[in-house]
Structure 1
Amino acid sequence: MCQHETACPAADAADREAARTIRHRPEQGWTLLCNGVLLFEDTGELLPDGQVVAPRRPLAVPARNAA
């Protein structure tokens, strides 16, 4: 899929998010990478084979009230 010199990481590689951006739609919350991976702003991913990668964003921890 990638046509770049020094090809981007494949969609099944551990570093797949290092591929170049092809389309970026921040108003819709997604970015399409050269390797066909669709990244979402919540850190979830949709791989070209239809596999879903769950978001890895840490859950917010409520702030403690200082007493």
Structure 2
Amino acid sequence: MRRLDVSRRQLFESVERAALASLPSKDYEFAEWRLARVSTDYHVEFKIFFIRYRTTSFASKSI
């Protein structure tokens, strides 16, 4: 950087390196959350699939 008379690498090493945290031990797992409604035949639609919901007490209710 011209105004500071240091390179970007030197600036990173002196200022930001200490603030970095280590990588988490567990991998990131993507999850997609959506509201769904259990149909009267106890199925839930997800994208192009129909998945049977195992509990009958949620029929016609939002989950």
Higher-helix-fraction structure: 2
Asked which structure has the greater RCO (Cα within 8 Å, sep 6+), the reply is 2
Higher-strand-fraction structure: 1
> TM-score when scaled to structure 1?
0.24
